[in-house]
Structure 1
Amino acid sequence: MTGSAPSSQSAFAPFHYPAFRAIWTANLASNMGSMIQSVGAAWLMTELTQSHLLIALVQAGATIPIMLLGVFAGAIADNFDRRRVMLAAQTGMLLVSAALTITTWMGAITPLLLLFFTLAVGCGTALNGPAWQASVRLQVGPRDLPQAIALNTIAFNLARSVGPALGGLLISLSGPETGFAFNALSYVALIIVLVRWRPETRPPQRRPMLAAIGAGLRFCAQSDPVRRVLLRGFAFGLGAAGFQALLPSLIRDRFGGTEIDYGLCLAAFGAGSIFTALWIGKARRRWGSDKVVTVAAMLFAAVMLPVAVTHSLPPLLVAAFIAGGAWVSTLTTLNVAMQLRSPEDILGRCLSIYQAVTFGAMALGAWVLGMIADYAGLQNALFCSAIWLLLTAFLLRYIAPMPRRDEGRVTP
């Protein structure tokens, strides 16, 4: 399943490539299932425990493995066939989701067991991520790479906008085990597409695992533009984690809401992400990546303030929409900056280091803010998140500005 197409500045140009079309569509279905499962797991935890920390750790559990295993996953992506790595990861996540379905259906699920399954799925995500992101270059031409990254982000956030609302409705009607089963089935389409995909690639030059990891770490440590991207990702991830990690507790404790209300809030977040992803590329070209990342972080911080004090669902939905736009503006811009400044032979490792730093910060942020919520209340935890984002957005623009357009850029 290969193909070529003329490059274009159109946001939808990557869809001219047959491989990208097929993988994008299958990935959308898989992301939809993942979002349904995440809603089910987060809401199930609110029924199993009153602890804000344990509820927040459901969000952290999906990202902790990326922090702990991401660098090894990057070396695996560069040392082995990336398509086969993705197939192994997707198959593993299918099996874990099936086990979670059966355990929940049997009524044997506990808070710690739910966290275990969440961590197991996160391990699959950690293995899949670097190989997945590095494979985008195999699907489209070099000039269409930024648009392809943006479209993959849209696929994720389209699932984020539809999946949570669908998941909330599905879970309210038939229980979380149905949502977990739906997710297990959603992996099948992507596995079939990956089995059929046969990209033309050079055999990877295998190196010892620790030596391969060391090469990636040295490059990221020695490249000043890459170091600044990583610092911006860590700062944003640490503060922005609070919104999604604390949202289930907020819906349950302040609004007395249901899983449908929770799904609607996540849907609003996803809708804001999609709306923004359609034009963020033009915004970067016009104003530059530094201004985009700085303004996005400040917007995210600003919407955390009404989230902390509101007692009405409509303002929370508006805040979620804006936060989704700020989220995708930042993460898409950081991802593009890393891809364009990472050599092909260590691309998987560079992207895994970026994921480990950014998503590791999200896991750390979820844990810290969950503890603050337990000891000082939800409102104070959300205020802390907003203050952190505001301070770092202002300071890092001077301490660690985003790379200029051609600074550190490599030729794919």
Structure 2
Amino acid sequence: MADAPVPPAEIKPAGGSLAPFRYPAFRAIWTANLFSNIGSMIQSVGAAWLMTELTTSHVLVALVQASATIPILLLGMFAGAIADNYDRRRVMLAAQSGMLVVSAALAALAYTGSIGPLSLLALTLMVGMGTALNGPAWQASVRLQVGRADLPQAISLNAISFNLARSVGPALGGILISLWSTSLAFAINALSYLGMIVVLSRWRPESLPPTREPMLAAIGRGLRFCASSSPIRKVLIRGFAIGFGAAGLQALMPSIARDVLKGSELDYGLMLGGFGIGSIVTALWISKIRRRLGSEAVVTAATLIFAAAQVLMASATGVPMAIVAAFFGGMGWASAMTSLNVAMQLRSPEDILGRCLSIYQAVTFGGMALGAWAWGSVADFASLQTALHAAAVWLLASLAMHFFAPMPTREEGRLDAVPESKP
């Protein structure tokens, strides 16, 4: 490891929206992550659909979707401290390897018919634990892959990678399940981790060795910084509110597809694909819009769009209408989440970046997990349509935060080390 690492920003100047692809490390990791995300989406469809076959409980179906976010709520801050205390590449390798093993076990149990609702939920939670461990290290490592000025574009491209997978993976998962069974979906996801493991094994980023702190002291330092930073507090508040409300559409979509629209697993995959396409279309231009109008305007518009998508989904009388609703939901989701992520990255110091991002993830995706449980409970008590309308009302009410927790202004709390590139 070099004693004086040369930051990528000193190697190449900032460029356009595709500039991060000039960096070999980013290209390789982005590509491997795309295939890994496709595998995850295929498994997500398989797990959600399998749960609808194992139980009629809307709460359990919603909790399958929340299983990827509940561990982030419970373990996220520990994962952030681990990402800052240890080599982030090795942390990601450990997480990817663990998820491979669990997904392979899930495939074997599903193939033999030895899985029930609780064991399915337990195994998807274990995959979620791997996601929680991987997340802060992966997001913090983006600074080691591209130049500082290209960081916002790299974050947007990573969002596109995820949403490309969200577009292709669900439909592919629906086809595979209809042709074979959910066990094939789980097996393909296990194999999809191999590419990322190989790329990470070969990647040797130049960086200073991390300064280790006791775990609780490290977590406390990250919490104190986030609590003392007014811009970051605003981002966290908005992230929780949007995550809680947005969970309605995403967690209840499999139940809408099966119980309301009487659709198949392929129909559900197409609905998720519509969500992903909406996210991709938005991610391609959202950085330019955010630079022109500011984060507050973008997040406000995203909230309104997502609330409208939930109302449209509740009114859907057929799969095409549901796909349109999911498309608009994807637009709102990508606009909000990309803006929140960029705001956090640009205002977090490098030495505690993993902790700051883990706190953001814990708050935002923890809000999603709580929302999935809440809206699933409303659906069981009343109806799926009532739950979606209630989630939309929550999002509309959250717009009041414009007055007491507005998104940070362009220069508020910004760190000079990571300037945002100009259009």
In the superposition, the TM-score normalised over structure 2's length comes to: 0.96
Question: What residue in structure 2 maps to residue 109 of structure 1?
Answer: 115
Question: What residue in structure 1 maps to residue 382 of structure 2?
Answer: 376
1:52–1:373 Cα contact (<8 Å) kept: yes
1:7–1:13 Cα contact (<8 Å) kept: no
Structure 1 residues 131-142: aligned runs within 5 Å? 131-142=137-148
Does residue 277 in structure 1 map to residue 283 in structure 2? yes
Whole-Å separation in 2 of the counterparts to 1:131 and 1:20: 15
Segments of structure 2 that go 5 or more residues without pairing to the other structure are 418-423
Q: CA-to-partner distance for each residue in 1:6-41, whole Å, 9 max, x for gaps?
A: 223410000000000000000001000000000000
1:344 to 343, 350, 360: 350
Whole-Å separation in 1 of the counterparts to 2:47 and 2:273: 16
Question: What residue in structure 2 maps to residue 77 of structure 1?
Answer: 83
1:272–1:323 Cα contact (<8 Å) kept: yes
2:305–2:331 Cα contact (<8 Å) kept: no
Structure 1 position 61, deviation (Å) = 1.0
Whole-Å separation in 2 of the counterparts to 1:262 and 1:173: 15
2:299–2:335 Cα contact (<8 Å) kept: yes
Q: CA-to-partner distance for each residue in 1:80-117, whole Å, 9 max, x for gaps?
A: 00000000000000000000000101100100000001
Whole-Å separation in 2 of the counterparts to 1:9 and 1:322: 29
Greater Cα shift, 360-369 or 243-252: 243-252
Whole-Å separation in 2 of the counterparts to 1:164 and 1:315: 17
Does residue 406 in structure 1 map to residue 411 in structure 2? yes
Amino acid paired to 1:175: S
1:143 to 125, 140, 149: 149
Structure 1 position 3, deviation (Å) = 9.6
Aligned pair in 2 of structure 1 residues 339, 3: CA closer, same or farther (>3 Å)?
closer
1:71–1:352 Cα contact (<8 Å) kept: yes
SS in 1 for 2:407: coil
1:233 to 231, 236, 239: 239
Structure 1 residues 4-403: aligned runs within 5 Å? 4=8, 6-393=12-399, 395-403=400-408
1:36–1:183 Cα contact (<8 Å) kept: yes
2:263–2:319 Cα contact (<8 Å) kept: no
1:293–1:333 Cα contact (<8 Å) kept: yes
Greater Cα shift, 2-11 or 138-147: 2-11
Amino acid paired to 1:372: V
Whole-Å separation in 2 of the counterparts to 1:374 and 1:35: 26
Whole-Å separation in 2 of the counterparts to 1:278 and 1:307: 25
Structure 1 position 302, deviation (Å) = 1.1
Whole-Å separation in 1 of the counterparts to 2:152 and 2:379: 38
Q: CA-to-partner distance for each residue in 1:278-329, whole Å, 9 max, x for gaps?
A: 0000010010000000110011001211211221111111111111011010
SS in 2 for 1:256: coil
Amino acid paired to 2:279: S
SS in 1 for 2:211: coil
Structure 1 position 157, deviation (Å) = 0.3
1:272–1:321 Cα contact (<8 Å) kept: yes
Q: CA-to-partner distance for each residue in 1:101-138, whole Å, 9 max, x for gaps?
A: 00101100100000001100000000000000000000
Structure 1 position 411, deviation (Å) = 2.9
SS in 2 for 1:62: coil
1:134–1:347 Cα contact (<8 Å) kept: yes
In the superposition, the TM-score normalised over structure 1's length comes to: 0.98
1:3–1:18 Cα contact (<8 Å) kept: no
Segments of structure 1 that go 5 or more residues without pairing to the other structure are none
Q: CA-to-partner distance for each residue in 1:367-392, whole Å, 9 max, x for gaps?
A: 00000000011111011000000110
Whole-Å separation in 2 of the counterparts to 1:233 and 1:7: 32
1:149–1:336 Cα contact (<8 Å) kept: yes
1:36–1:166 Cα contact (<8 Å) kept: yes
Whole-Å separation in 2 of the counterparts to 1:385 and 1:110: 29
2:86–2:212 Cα contact (<8 Å) kept: yes
RMSD, matched Cα:
1.2
2:7–2:144 Cα contact (<8 Å) kept: no
